[in-house]
Each structure stands twice: as C-alpha cells, then as structure tokens.
Structure 1
Amino acid sequence: MRGWEAVPYGSGMPSPRRGKTPPPPAAPEPDARARLIAAGQRVLGERGYDAATVKEVAREAGVNQGLVHYYFGSKDALLLAVTQEASRQYLSELERLRAQTPAEELAQTAFAWGEKLATDAPGTCRLRYELFALGLRNRELTPAVAQLLGQGDEEIARTVAHVRTGHDTAPTAEDLHYAVIIKACVDGLALHHQLDKSFDPLPVYALLRRIMLASIEQPAPPRAPARKPKAQGRRGARSSRARKTPGPRRR
C-alpha cells in the first residue's frame, strides 16, 4: 500500500501552529521515529490529545524532545503519524484475513474482528476521532485525514468484493458504497461507546452484520449436475407391453 512513507518535517507534513522548529539533532537514532510513534500511541491514547504533551511522548520514547519537532513539526502531525500507523496495521491485517480465510467464512470473520478491535482498543479509537476533529479545525491536516479515510474505504471494499464474488477481485462502485456504510456505522458505534460507557455496541454490531450479510450478494454454492433419467431397456419395454390391455382373440 502506498501513502504511508515516513518523511521528516518540512517534506509535506503539516507545519507547527505556533513557535519555531528547532534544528534537527546532529545524529538522530535510526529507529527514533518509530519509537516516537509507538510512544505517541500509548501517551496520547491514555491521556488524550489535549492533556498529553510532546515532552511526555519524548520521555516515553527515550529520545530528545527535539526529535518530535524534527520528524513531525507539531503535535497535530504526530497524531496524524500515530493514526496512520494504526490504520496501516489495521489494513494489513484485513489483507491477511482475505488471503487466509475461506471465502464462505470471510464476512463473519472480518465482522467479528472489526467488532473486537472497536471494543478492545479504546485508545486507538479515541485517537482516530481526535484526528477527525483536528482535521476539521486544522485545514493543513484535512487532505491527509481524507486520504486516510479513502485508504480504509478501498481496503474494506476489496473485502466486500471478495465476499460477493468468492475470490480476490477489483471492487466495484457498489462495493465501495458498502465499505463506506460499514465504516461509518462502525465508527459511529465505537464513538458512542467512547462517550457513553453504559452503551453496549455489541448487539447493534450483530444487527449490522445481519443486515449487511443479507444485503451483499454472496456467490451461490455450486449446484450438483442434474441426473439424466435412465433410458428404458428391454425389461422396461417388456413391462410396457405387458401392461397393454389384450384385445379380443381371433377365431
């Protein structure tokens, strides 16, 4: 999948909203960016975007705070990178499910996995919705957030197409429409659960799964060839003659 390549701040990433960007460190560690993203997922997911600080993320990653600005430029762009990495892992897992799951089991398996992800990974879901809100406020982030949504739609559409046809194929426009509906519903239910812990999304997920599976055309199982009627042999011919009503005898 394209669109996930990492670039230091200044190569197309959103610029900081305030302050100056410090000069890059003399020799940044080769895995510093990956460590910052992993630390950002933990710190931002646990504390929330507004409460967490860049200093806390750098401390969690065990790197100099200046590397946050060098790689990302701002906390907004760090959140984007964290969410992009989570989405990359999500889409890779969905691709793996398509490759390893029998076609007749794929829909149920994919739905069950999506439900578990939405309910068991609240930190990741929270960051996703934080990013959506930032995308509405920070216009420099909007194109990247839109690209993130589009990549998710495309991968889910490929799964829908696989369920519908029974093999890996290019999705149609209708497959993409199904993907958008599914993603919007799952996002809405997960967000509801984030805001109201008394809300149980699982029964609604189950209903959504039934509605989608009943609506998406799935390949019919192969039909056994019809048996041809057996041709009547001599025995059948004799039986047929025997059943005839005998006529009057000639005298």
Structure 2
Amino acid sequence: MAQPTTAQRGREVRRRLLDVACELIAEHGWTAVSTRMLADRAGVTPGLVHYHFSSVQALLNEAAIGAMRDYLAQTPELFQQAATAQQGLDILLGELDRHTGLDPLSLLFTETYLASTRDDALRGEIAVLLAEFRHQVSTWLDGHGVAAPETAAAVLAAAVDGVLLHRALNPGLRGSDIAPVLGRILTSAGGADTGDGTEGAGDRQ
C-alpha cells in the first residue's frame, strides 16, 4: 500500500486541527483555546499549528465558520421534506429539538457569535453565511406564497438563533410549542399555503 504523500499528511493534520478546534471551543470557550491545547488534542507539535495557520485566531475562525456552513447546508434538504410552508417550519423547529443549547454544536454557535462581536472579519463571514441561509428560506417561502418572504425569512432566522440560545435556560421550550406562534408570520401577511385548509389573512380581505 502506498504511503501518504507529504501533501496528504499535511491536509490530514490541517483537518484534524480544525476538528479539534471546534471541540475545544465548545468545551472551554473561544478565548481559552491555546496553541498547546490544540497541539495536545490533535497529537501534533505546537509548531505544526502555526505552520498550517497564521494564528490561533485564524484557526478558530476557519474551524467555526466551516462547522456553521456544514450545518446550515442541511436546510435545503429539510425543506424538501415539506409540502407546505407550515410543514417546513415544523421540520426546521423540530430539528432544533435535537439540541439542548448546551450540546457541542449549540455551544460552538454561541461562542462564535460572541467572538464575532470583537472580530470584524469573523462577523463579516458569519453575516455572509446568514445571508445565504435567509436567501434559501426566503426563496422557499416565496414558492409557497408567503408575502414579504425576505422579511419573514429574516425574522425566522433570528427566532431560530434565539430559541437555540434560550434552550439552555428553558429546556421545556420545544419546537412543537413554538411552531404555531411563528407560523402566524407565514399567514398574517396573506396568501401562504398553510396546509391546514385555512387561508392567509390577505385571502380574507
């Protein structure tokens, strides 16, 4: 069997450092992660950390943004399971029930948002991800006749983040309880396909 090339070994070390960075951010908090912690967990020398990344901050930024991008990329697949706007909302919020607010992914998102308040570059990268997410949701909502889909998508995106944050403080906050409330956003402006035989407010004018 052929031995891995130097380039392949380098890519593997880089990938391992990115994975380890996500783990450590969730476990210890963004500002507590050090070169030594990263090297020890990844099983490499501290010098390799700085060989592959210009700084610990650069490594953390790339790791967190990559994890967030991978998670948000699942959104189109979730919506494909839904025949109506309300069903899509139910599925999206049901997905949140997999997270406690204190699980590794939730903590990674929370720590990254907090770190972005002090890092313009990181904040800009998150803004791009959220814009892409809102565009996906808006396009899907528009296809189901939801009025002002861009605004509805922005509100839903903010609500999802808020629910995730509050789950740690209120574990009883379930998607099934929230979906009917947020569902009013989809119908109050009129025309939305709710899937329950009702009409949007605009249809009753």
TM-score band, normalised by shorter chain: 0.7 to 0.9
CA gap of 1:75–1:41, structure 2 versus 1, over 3 A, is same
Number of paired residues?
Answer: 184
Displacement of 1:220: 6.9
Amino acid across the alignment from 1:41: C
- The alignment-based identity, stated in percent, is 23
Task: Give 2:45's match in structure 1, choosing from 28, 43, 64.
Answer: 64
Aligned to 1:182: 156
Greater RCO, 1 or 2 (C-alpha within 8 Å, sep 6+): 2
**Paired amino acid for 1:180:** A
Q: Distance in 1 between matches of 2:26 and 2:136?
A: 25
1:63 counterpart SS class: coil
Gaps of 5+ in 1: 1-25, 166-170, 224-251
How many Å separate the matches in 2 of 1:46 and 1:151? 28
Deviation of the 1:139 alpha carbon: 2.8
Per the normalisation by structure 2, the TM-score is: 0.73
* 1:103 and 2:73 aligned: no
Deviation at 1:219, TM superposition (A): 2.8
The 4+ residue runs of structure 1 with deviation greater than 4 A are: none
d(CA) in 1 for partners of 2:140, 2:35 = 37
Residues in 1 aligned to 2:41 and 2:127: alpha-carbon distance in whole angstroms: 29
2:34 to 48, 53, 56: 53
Matches within 5 A, 1:209-224: 209-217=179-187, 218-219=192-193
Which amino acid is the alignment partner of residue 40 of structure 1?
A
Contact 2:72 2:133 in 1 (8 A): yes
Distance of 2:63 and 2:54 partners within structure 1: 14
Q: Pick closer, same or farther for the CA change 1:213–1:142 going to 2, 3 Å.
A: closer
Instruction: Identify unmatched segments of 5+ residues in structure 2.
Output: 1-5, 198-205
Q: Which has the higher helix share?
A: 2
User: CA RMSD of the aligned region, Å?
Assistant: 2.9
Q: Check conservation: 1:189, 1:201, Cα contact below 8 A.
A: no
Q: Please give the secondary structure, in 2, of the residue aligned with 1:29.
A: helix
